[in-house]
Structure 1
Amino acid sequence: MFEEKSELTTVQGGIPQEIEENPNHQLLLSCEGNIREECQGTYISKARTLFTIGFYDHAVLEYWNRAITDLKDKLTIYGLEHFPSELNLKIKTREDISNIKDSQVIEGCYLLGIIDDEAYTFLKHCLAVRNNFTAAHDTESPIDPLEALNLIKNCVKYVLQRDVPSPAMTINDLLQYIQSENFDVDHFKEVIKDQSPKIIESFLRRIFSEYIDPQTTKDYRDNLKLIIKEVWDKVGEEVKSDMGQRLMQLKLEDEVDKSLYAMDFILQVKGMKYIPKTVRKHIFIKKSREFLHAHSGFNNFYTEVSHAKELEELGFNIPDEAMKAYVKAITFSYTGNSWGISDGAEPYNQSMIENLPTKGKKCY
Structure 2
Amino acid sequence: MTDVNLPAIAAHTLPVLDQLTKALGVPRDILASPSEIETAWLNLPGILKKIPPVLRTEGMARMCVAVASGLFDSAINYVWNCSIIELREKVKRFGLNVVEQITSKTAFDEQALLDLKDAELLNLCLKLNLITEDGYFFLDQCRDIRNNFSAAHPVVGKIDDHEFIGFANRCAKYALGNEHNPIGVNLAAFMAAIKGGKFSGEQKDQWVHRIGQTHEAQQYLIFGSLHGIYSDPASNEESRVNALSVAAEFAPHFTPKARSDLINRHHDYIAKGDEKRHKASQQFFEKLGMLALLGEHEVHSLISNACKRLFAVHQSFDNFYNEPPFAERLLQLSEQVAIPDTVKDELVETVVTCAAGNYYGVSNAALPHFYKIIKGFSPAEVEIMLNLPSKKGILSERLKGSATCANRYKSLVQLIDVSTVPAKAAAAYAHWIK
**Cα distance, 1:363 vs. partner?**
12
Could you say what secondary structure the match of 1:193 adopts? Answer: helix
**Cα distance, 1:110 vs. partner?**
0.9
Residue among 294, 305, 309 paired with 2:331: 309
Residue-by-residue CA offset, 1:155-208 (whole Å, 9 max, x unaligned) = 111121223735422122123334346632322222222212232222222222
Which has the higher mean CA deviation after the structures are superposed, 112-121 or 123-132?
123-132
RMSD of aligned C-alpha atoms? 4.0
Q: 1:207 matched to which residue of 2?
A: 226
Could you say what secondary structure the match of 2:192 adopts? Answer: helix
Q: 1:325 matched to which residue of 2?
A: 343
Residue among 249, 258, 262 paired with 2:277: 258
State whether residues 90 and 96 of structure 1, in contact with CA within 8 Å, keep that contact through their aligned partners in structure 2: no
State whether residues 250 and 258 of structure 1, in contact with CA within 8 Å, keep that contact through their aligned partners in structure 2: yes
Q: 1:96 matched to which residue of 2?
A: 112
Q: Relative to 1, partners in 2 of residues 1:112 and 1:16: Cα closer, same or farther, differing over 3 Å?
A: closer
The amino acid that maps onto 1:79 is: G
What are structure 2's unaligned runs of at least 5 residues?
Answer: 1-9, 19-31, 382-419, 423-434
Could you say what secondary structure the match of 1:260 adopts? Answer: helix
Q: Relative to 1, partners in 2 of residues 1:166 and 1:140: Cα closer, same or farther, differing over 3 Å?
A: closer
Q: From the two aligned structures, give the one with the greater helix fraction.
A: 2
State whether residues 112 and 198 of structure 1, in contact with CA within 8 Å, keep that contact through their aligned partners in structure 2: yes
d(CA) in 1 for partners of 2:182 and 2:115? 24
Residue-by-residue CA offset, 1:120-179 (whole Å, 9 max, x unaligned) = 222222223333443444454422211211121111111212237354221221233343
Paired positions, count: 343
The amino acid that maps onto 1:345 is: F
The amino acid that maps onto 1:311 is: L
d(CA) in 2 for partners of 1:264 and 1:69? 48
d(CA) in 2 for partners of 1:233 and 1:105? 34
Residue among 227, 237, 242 paired with 2:256: 237
**Cα distance, 1:261 vs. partner?**
1.5
Could you say what secondary structure the match of 2:369 adopts? Answer: coil
Q: Which is bigger in relative contact order (C-alpha 8 A, separation at least 6)? A: 1
- The answer on 1:246 being equivalent to 2:265 is yes
Q: 2:410 matched to which residue of 1?
A: none
The amino acid that maps onto 1:162 is: N
The amino acid that maps onto 2:119 is: S
d(CA) in 2 for partners of 1:18 and 1:140? 20
Could you say what secondary structure the match of 1:9 adopts? Answer: helix
d(CA) in 2 for partners of 1:148 and 1:18? 10
Q: 2:166 matched to which residue of 1?
A: 150
Alignment of 1:83-232 (within 5 A): 83=99, 92-163=108-179, 165=181, 167-178=183-194, 179-180=196-197, 183=200, 184=202, 185-232=204-251
Could you say what secondary structure the match of 1:215 adopts? Answer: coil
Alignment of 1:10-25 (within 5 A): 22-25=38-41
What are structure 1's unaligned runs of at least 5 residues?
Answer: 357-361
Using structure 2 for the length normalisation, give the TM-score.
0.66
Using structure 1 for the length normalisation, give the TM-score.
0.77
The amino acid that maps onto 1:46 is: R
**Cα distance, 1:228 vs. partner?**
1.0
State whether residues 63 and 79 of structure 2, in contact with CA within 8 Å, keep that contact through their aligned partners in structure 1: yes
